[in-house]
């Protein structure tokens, strides 16, 4: 294996297991066993965003605390400037813990999020296809198309109002 910028052997993207193991120590620090270094909650969030499957365990008890860490990340995100969930939505979540069948709601949420993600990817793909390799050219073509539509609409309106620009040009030509 080739070395990285720190002179250590490069670690493959996915080592033996497909799941990245993160250990949380009593001092509340997170340790990435694949990179052999301490990381922050922001690093864990970045791994999630990259689609890395991970598992967080308590270093002392070996208890799986992945959900707790992910909830902590969500809590930090929700405390920021642009939260995803409204106060009413959060209140409804709390009520659902008491009134709903958790398995049914969890399955509904998972399927809804999967569908949303698929639709988002499809939309992004369609936008990319529409823009092609040259977005400036695509926007120029769209602008030209919209301008032609606007001119046609304006001409139709003027014709209905009896003030067609072609009639106006002919009348101006007759005056001379």
pTM of the model: 0.59
Q: Which of 4-18, 37-51, 105-119 has the lowest mean pLDDT?
A: 4-18
Specify whether 32 is located in the same domain as 62. yes
Q: Six-digit token pair at 60?
A: 């002392």
Specify whether 158 is located in the same domain as 98. no
106 in any annotated domain: yes
Specify whether 35 is located in the same domain as 110. no
Determine how many CB atoms are found less than 10 A away from the CB of residue 22. Answer: 23
Specify whether 21 is located in the same domain as 76. yes
Specify whether 64 is located in the same domain as 120. no
38 in any annotated domain: yes
pLDDT for residue 173 is more than 70? no
Specify whether 17 is located in the same domain as 56. yes
Q: Are 49 and 58 in contact (CB under 8 A)?
A: no
Q: Are 18 and 53 in contact (CB under 8 A)?
A: yes
How many domains would you assign to the chain? 3
Q: Are 55 and 64 in contact (CB under 8 A)?
A: yes
How does 36-66 read in b/e, with b if 16+ C-beta sit within 10 Å?
eeeeeeeebbebeeeeeebebbebeeeeebb
Percentage of the chain modeled with pLDDT above 90: 34
Full domain range(s) for residue 24: 1-84
Average pLDDT over residues 95-123: 82
């Amino acid at each position: 294996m080739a070395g990285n910028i720190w002179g250590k052997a490069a670690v493959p993207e996915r080592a033996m297991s497909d799941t990245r193991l993160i250990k949380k120590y009593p001092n509340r620090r997170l340790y990435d066993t694949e990179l052999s270094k301490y990381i922050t909650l922001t690093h864990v969030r970045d791994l999630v965003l990259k689609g890395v499957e991970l598992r967080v365990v308590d270093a002392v008890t070996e208890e799986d605390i992945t959900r707790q860490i992910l909830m902590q990340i969500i809590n930090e995100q929700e405390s920021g400037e642009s939260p995803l969930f409204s106060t009413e939505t959060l209140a409804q979540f709390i009520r659902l813990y008491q009134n709903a069948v958790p398995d049914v709601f969890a399955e509904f949420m998972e399927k809804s999020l999967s569908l949303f993600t698929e639709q988002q990817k499809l939309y992004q793909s369609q936008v990319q296809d529409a823009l092609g390799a040259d977005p400036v050219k695509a926007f120029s073509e769209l602008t030209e198309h919209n301008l032609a539509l606007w001119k046609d609409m304006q001409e139709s309106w003027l014709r209905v109002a009896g003030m067609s620009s072609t009639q106006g040009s002919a009348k101006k030509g007759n005056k001379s």
